[in-house]
Amino acid sequence: MIIPKKENFTGTFDVPGDKSITHRAVMFNAAARGSAVIKNALLGDDCLSTIGCMRALGAQVSTDGNTVYVTGTPQFRDAECDCGNSGTTMRLLMGLVAGKGVNVKFTGDASLSKRPMERVAAPLRLLGASVETTGGTAPVYVRAARLRGCVADTKVASAQVKSALILAALGADGETQVREPLRSRDHTERMLAAMGADIRAEGNSVFVKKSELRCVDVDVPADISSAAYFMALGALLGETVCKNVGINPTRTGILRVFDRMGVRYALENERTVCGEPVADIRVRKSAMRGIRLTEEMMPSLIDEIPVIAVLCAFAEGESVISGAQELKVKESDRILTTSEMLNALGGDCTPTEDGLIVRGGKGLRGGKINSYGDHRIAMSGAVALSASGTGGEIVGAECVNISFPQFYAMLGI
Ligand code: S3P
């Protein structure tokens, strides 16, 4: 894909629905009593993997444009679930099926088959789940078992791990306390509460009791992780407005980064939709300064680090991102792929054990980059090339279909 340099980038954008919320709306309704309509769903490859898995488990799911219709089945059947590239699908479903009395095999593509699954399997076993990984990775086998509540500590602040435990706890006797080191995104807790689950959050813990779910309709807000590319283009090249973006405080670390970098932005039309806060986000071209990001901020902006690193290349001074070792186990090792991308374009980036050092101020020259099949590297690379001196080329550009199929069209390519 050739990405030309742009002198100016201005416009209003409807970026697609939130990936995390779409996965959850499909999965949880598929496991609930009744029927639901999910509007503005993201139907990228990852969420299509979730839909395929829920059908395999016995739910009825159909789509019409961006609308998904689900009829739930509180009792799943034995199945083989192909999760494609989607870590969220595999990890959340491991928990969801664990107490359902069924035997399920989970598989994934080459990238997903390298990602760690014991981080979910080990705490699920504390609840009595029968989970077998293949040397720590997929294929994963979850077998019928009786679950009992317990205190489960997650070693990483991961919404995927936390959500898997919460979902298993819905089928466990007694109460389960899920405790995480830092608070991760809480879409699971919000949606399950709306579906009638006995669930409450207190500090970094979530308390869950055995519950039956009833279907709820969901209107999915736009994904701030997808909006981030258009927000960055506004900050670099003009003025952008992203409409109806989810601004759940567990997801808005990028706005706190904007505050510290000096990016000019405004939240407009703030409101609440289906229990999630939403706003239009306007971003204006700004002179930016470098930043320091540490571990406690990571859960609220982990998926945005590659595009934040692009902004750092254009900011005055040095930026240091640390405490971000989770980047190593995303769809690619994003510490390496982000630094390789910036350096290939003439930037000055050093990968570290747990993050990146970006020496900014010079902007980016342009050139050729490789996405390594990682959607967020491809889209961050497209932002970098649009703002670069010459523009350039992305090898492996099609992986944006994972989370943002319309990305290049919205960029005007
Ligand atoms: C997600 C949680 C995050 C995030 C991923 C989606 C979710 O992963 O990176 O894109 O929907 O729960 P971790 O929970 O592993 O940090």
The per-residue pLDDT for range 206-248, each reduced to its tens digit, is: 999 999 999 999 999 999 999 999 999 999 999 999 999 999 9
Print the domain residue range for 332.
Answer: 2-16+221-411
Shared domain for 178 and 310, answered yes or no, is no
> Tell me, what's the pLDDT at 373?
97
Our count of domains for the chain comes to: 2
Task: Tell me, rounded to whole angstroms, the distance of Cα 188 from its chain centroid.
Answer: 13
Which phi and psi angles does 95 have, rounded to 5°?
A: -75, -40
Give yes or no for a contact between 92 and 27, defined as CB atoms under 8 angstroms apart: yes
Residue minimizing CA distance to atom 16 of ligand 1: 158
Mean pLDDT of 5-19: 98
Catalytic annotation present for 303: yes
Shared domain for 356 and 341, answered yes or no, is yes
Shared domain for 257 and 163, answered yes or no, is no
Locate the DSSP E strands across 14-77.
35-39, 60-64, 67-71
Q: Is the CB of 223 under 6 A from ligand 1?
A: no
Contacts of 101 (CB under 8 A, 6+ apart): 75, 144
For residue 185, the CA-to-ligand 1 centroid distance in Å is 8
> Tell me, what's the pLDDT at 342?
98
Q: Does pTM top 0.75 for this prediction?
A: yes
Residue 267: which pLDDT band, with cuts at 50, 70 and 90? Answer: very high
Shared domain for 268 and 250, answered yes or no, is yes
Shared domain for 10 and 31, answered yes or no, is no
Shared domain for 24 and 103, answered yes or no, is yes
Q: Is the CB of 159 under 6 A from ligand 1?
A: yes
> Tell me, what's the pLDDT at 239?
98
How does pLDDT run across 367-382, given as a tens digit for each residue? 999 999 999 999 999 9
Q: 201 vs 95, 135, 187, 211, CA distance in Å?
A: 19, 33, 12, 16
Residue that is last in its domain, among 190, 215, 240: 215
Give kind and range of the element (H or E) at residue 264: strand 264-273
What is the domain-level CATH number for residue 131? 3.65.10.10
Residue that is last in its domain, among 173, 193, 215: 215
> Tell me, what's the pLDDT at 280?
98
Distance CA 98, CA 82 (A): 17
Mean pLDDT of 181-197: 97
Which phi and psi angles does 395 have, rounded to 5°?
A: -90, 130
Shared domain for 287 and 398, answered yes or no, is yes
Residue that is last in its domain, among 215, 240, 266: 215
Average pLDDT across the chain, whole number? 98
How does pLDDT run across 164-185, given as a tens digit for each residue? 999 999 999 999 999 999 999 9
Shared domain for 211 and 226, answered yes or no, is no
Nearest of 33, 29, 77 to residue 56 by alpha carbon: 77
Distance CA 208, CA 96 (A): 14
